Amino acid sequence: MTHSDDPKPFSDLPLQPEVLEALEQMGFKTMTPVQELAIPHLLTSVDFLGQAPTGTGKTAAFSIPLVNRIEPGSGYVQALIIGPTRELVQQIAKEINEIGRVKGVKALAVFGGERIYGQRKQLRDEDIDIIVGTPGRLLDHIEQMSFSFSRIRLVVLDESDIMLDMGFIEDIEKILARTPQGRQTWLFSATMSPESRKIADRHMMYPEEIRIAPQKHSSEMIDQYYFITENDDKITLIQNLLENTPDIYGIIFCRTKRGVVELTRKLRGRYPVECVHGAMEQSSRDAVLDKFRTRQYQVIVATDVLARGIDIDNLTHVINYDPPNDPDSYIHRIGRTARAGETGIAITFFTPDEGTDYAQLEKQVGMDLIKHPDSLPEFRASRRRSSGYRHSNSQRPRSNSSSRSRNPRR
């Protein structure tokens, strides 16, 4: 099954009038390919596997048919969505509540970093139809018997590969074991690993499956550059980029919390920049992201906690201050930019000793990275064989050139 070349309107779908009205209020007019292919299946009683790249509308692809199938005000939880991060479950719950506003469908996000008592109170005092949660916090609610799993008709696993990479397999199995046997299960992910397939085999019955091939947006819509640079030169490259790109709006990714804090300290005061990492309180992270969305900050320095599941449009740049740990992380990082048909720029720093890591990344991702003209000419020869992507903990850098030298789209 393939999607049409011309986007189809949501009005072509057999959706309830209340759902169509909400989509119109949200400005949703035509379907993305993943929505066009997935929603007709999800309006029926089937298990489902959906693979589509980041930024293609996966959340709406399952949220729209889910809201369409919910009976609001029933007094019990009817659907459960499991996601890997606090930011992602908040984003999903927000979108479901917008789609369900006219119909009266309500979703609640539950995650760690907030007191569980407040979430239990909302579950007790409000008619919550859908719970969106991280695995750990959902297990907390299971232990405290905050709500009944006995009438859940539908479970959605979003970004399943990320959850498995984060070690949530046992938590997911425990949660699924508490849901009724006759439920439907939908699984969505940007990639589909053997581990996700195993979950599908254990918990699904003859699932329908769609796959949206990675669009050439990663190569056509994102200008991907790499620098070969000494660690001590990275900070100067970043400073030159910020000084020579007044309209920059982007994310700088570091490998560790320590690296994020140190780089932010060096930039703060001279540039509108702030940081986000996993050790921050949720309220602090939310406050920083809210200011970033309103462009009070032009740049966020972050760990991979922001690589997936944040809803911020129009980012112009993604900078990998430290190379990503694996190809999937690279794809998700740069996927923060060039969303919804926009263009973007991705820049990755490698030290002269990381030539093997660069070669592995380019080969496994299958994308052409352009050496920036201000880069060092080549990697150093090395007898070391890399066992993966190697990173340096050093956070200092040089160069007096701008990272905008080759910038055909900005």
| Higher local confidence (pLDDT), 374 or 217 | 374
* Average pLDDT for 123-130: 94
**Is 408 part of a structural domain of the chain?**
no
Q: Which of 100-114, 150-164, 189-203 has the lowest mean pLDDT?
A: 189-203
**Is 274 part of a structural domain of the chain?**
yes
Same domain membership, residue 287 and residue 202:
no
Query: Domain span at residue 45?
Result: 10-211
Strand partners, 50: 188, 210
**Looking at the 3D structure of the chain, how many domains does it have?**
2
The yes-or-no verdict on residue 190 having pLDDT over 90 is: no
Coil, helix or strand for 109?
A: strand
Supply the mean pLDDT for the chain.
86
**Is 294 part of a structural domain of the chain?**
yes
**Is 262 part of a structural domain of the chain?**
yes
Same domain membership, residue 103 and residue 22:
yes
Please report the pLDDT score of residue 359 as a whole number. Answer: 87
The yes-or-no verdict on residue 193 having pLDDT over 90 is: no
**Is 142 part of a structural domain of the chain?**
yes
Please report the pLDDT score of residue 214 as a whole number. Answer: 60
Distance CA 157, CA 242 (A): 38
Specify the DSSP element, H or E, that contains 33.
Answer: helix 33-42
**Is 376 part of a structural domain of the chain?**
no
Amino acid at 7: P
The residue among 51, 83, 41, 44 whose CA lies nearest residue 197 is: 51
Q: What is the CATH number of the domain that holds 59?
A: 3.40.50.300
Strand order in the sheet with 184-189: 107-110, 130-133, 79-82, 154-158, 184-189, 48-51, 208-211
Q: Which of 60-69, 151-160, 224-233, 337-346 has the lowest mean pLDDT?
A: 337-346
Please report the pLDDT score of residue 217 as a whole number. Answer: 45
Same domain membership, residue 172 and residue 93:
yes
The yes-or-no verdict on residue 354 having pLDDT over 70 is: yes
pLDDT digits (tens, 9 = 90+) for 68-93: 999 998 999 999 999 998 888 998 99
Q: Which ranges in 268-354 belong to alpha helices (H)?
A: 282-293, 327-334
Same domain membership, residue 344 and residue 232:
yes
| Higher local confidence (pLDDT), 405 or 219 | 219
Distance CA 361, CA 366 (A): 8
The yes-or-no verdict on residue 60 having pLDDT over 70 is: yes
Same domain membership, residue 221 and residue 195:
no
Choosing from 178, 195, 211, the residue where a domain stops is: 211
pLDDT digits (tens, 9 = 90+) for 220-251: 688 899 999 999 999 999 999 999 999 999 99
Distance CA 160, CA 164 (A): 6
Question: 190 is written with which tokens?
Answer: 């940007």
Same domain membership, residue 178 and residue 120:
yes
| The residue to which tokens 């999607």 are assigned | 3
Exposed / middle / buried, residue 397 (Cβ in 10 Å: 0-12, 13-18, 19+): buried
pTM of the model: 0.68
Q: Is the Cβ–Cβ distance between 281 and 307 less than 8 Å?
A: no
Same domain membership, residue 241 and residue 201:
no
Q: Which of 5-9, 106-110, 258-262, 285-289 has the lowest mean pLDDT?
A: 5-9
Same domain membership, residue 192 and residue 97:
yes
The yes-or-no verdict on residue 305 having pLDDT over 90 is: no
| Higher local confidence (pLDDT), 407 or 138 | 138
The yes-or-no verdict on residue 397 having pLDDT over 90 is: no
Choosing from 176, 211, 246, the residue where a domain stops is: 211
Please report the pLDDT score of residue 341 as a whole number. Answer: 66
Would you tell me how many other CB atoms lie within 10 Å of the CB of residue 373? 9
Choosing from 156, 177, 211, the residue where a domain stops is: 211
The residue among 171, 211, 170, 215 whose CA lies nearest residue 49 is: 211
**Is 188 part of a structural domain of the chain?**
yes
252-262: buried (b, 16+ CB within 10 Å) or exposed (e) per residue? bbbbebebbbb
The yes-or-no verdict on residue 402 having pLDDT over 80 is: no
Percent above pLDDT 70 for the chain: 89
Same domain membership, residue 241 and residue 200:
no
Same domain membership, residue 200 and residue 99:
yes
Same domain membership, residue 293 and residue 199:
no
Predicted confidence band at 253 (pLDDT cuts at 50, 70, 90)? Answer: very high
Q: Is the Cβ–Cβ distance between 19 and 68 less than 8 Å?
A: yes
**Is 394 part of a structural domain of the chain?**
no
The yes-or-no verdict on residue 410 having pLDDT over 90 is: no
pLDDT digits (tens, 9 = 90+) for 312-340: 888 999 999 999 888 778 888 888 887 76
Same domain membership, residue 19 and residue 33:
yes
Distance CA 51, CA 400 (A): 43
Predicted confidence band at 131 (pLDDT cuts at 50, 70, 90)? Answer: very high
Percent helix, strand and coil across the chain, each to the nearest 5: 40, 15, 45
Q: Is the Cβ–Cβ distance between 197 and 319 less than 8 Å?
A: no
